[in-house]
Amino acid sequence: MNVQPFATEVRGLTLRGTHYLPGDPSPTGPVAPRTTAVLLHGFGGSRVETTGVFVTLARALVAAGIGVVAFDRAGHGESDGEFFDTTASGDIADTRDVLAAVRALPEVDADDVHLVGMSLGSVIAAAVAAEEADVRSLTMWSTASVFVDDIRAGQIQGRSLAALDAPGGFFDFFGMRMGPAMRDDALGFDPYARAAAYRGPALLLHGTADFVPLRCAERYTQADVFGERAELVVVEGADHGWAQLPQRDDLIARTVSFIQNHSERTAS
């Protein structure tokens, strides 16, 4: 497997990531463009995701002949920016710019790009897919659209957001300072309406042990969002981060198969 650094400039910030490619790390001759999956991590996460599940996915996709780009969104991981300033709407706009940079890479078939999102990353991916007409498939893991309901109720994962109202206030999200911008953006953000214009195939995978309610994934399958274009797979015993086996193996296998089935290059 060929692992290369990826970086692009967005709003004056450098967003950093990893480009995984099949084959020799030092190829000679012209580079062939290939099917590519772009991975979007969850809120407060990074491009490797919980216990490295995005790395596991990248290796499986590369073994199937599919390239992968995983990147840290602004204020996350190794990318520039402050977590304090994160918003869902900002992440959507940034990801569209990242997608343009990915499509411009010589190793990427710009007409055969697929999105995979985890948790909040799946919400971001769905909205981006709706605004980018040529995304060939969308895979959503542990879809966390519940963040909108939680924030409107004044809390995240059962913890009050009241500290945001103090001068210089922030919400302590697992040791990271979340600012009021995330809350203010969420109050006017409709994840389902933002996704509804996507017309391609979608696969949603959700575990029965996820703290995010199953209804969040189910909502995307309704007629006013994806309707019959979406398939929802409920995996018994899987938690939010897919930290168990064999549930994780099932997740990876289904995701790789779905992308293969909808790739211009690998579909039979």
Q: How is 17-40 classified by DSSP, letter by letter?
A: EEEEESS-SS--SPPPPEEEEEEE
Helix, strand, or coil (residue 42): coil
> CA-to-CA distance for 21 and 9, rounded, in angstroms?
22
The confidence band for 29, taking pLDDT boundaries of 50, 70 and 90, is: low
Q: Estimate to the nearest angstrom the gap between the alpha carbon of 108 and the chain centroid.
A: 18
Asked if residue 10 lies in contact with residue 74, where contact means CB atoms within 8 angstroms, the answer is: yes
Q: Considering the domain 2-26+33-262, what is its CATH architecture?
A: 3-Layer(aba) Sandwich (3.40)
Q: What is the pTM of this model?
A: 0.96
User: Could you tell me the two tokens for 194?
Assistant: 């933002």
Asked if residue 54 lies in contact with residue 40, where contact means CB atoms within 8 angstroms, the answer is: no
Residue 267 has pLDDT above 60, yes or no: no
Q: What 8-state DSSP symbol labels residue 30? A: P
Mean pLDDT, rounded, for 12-33: 85
Helices marked H in the chain = 53-63, 88-103, 120-131, 146-152, 180-186, 191-195, 214-220, 247-262
Place of tokens 């709003």: 11
Rounded to 5 degrees, what are φ and ψ at 151?
-65, -40
Average pLDDT, the chain: 95
Mean pLDDT, rounded, for 101-119: 97
User: Could you tell me the two tokens for 36?
Assistant: 């590519």
How confident is the model over 133-185, as pLDDT tens digits? Answer: 899 999 999 999 999 999 999 999 999 999 999 999 999 999 999 999 999 99
Mean pLDDT, rounded, for 16-43: 88
> CA-to-CA distance for 143 and 125, rounded, in angstroms?
10
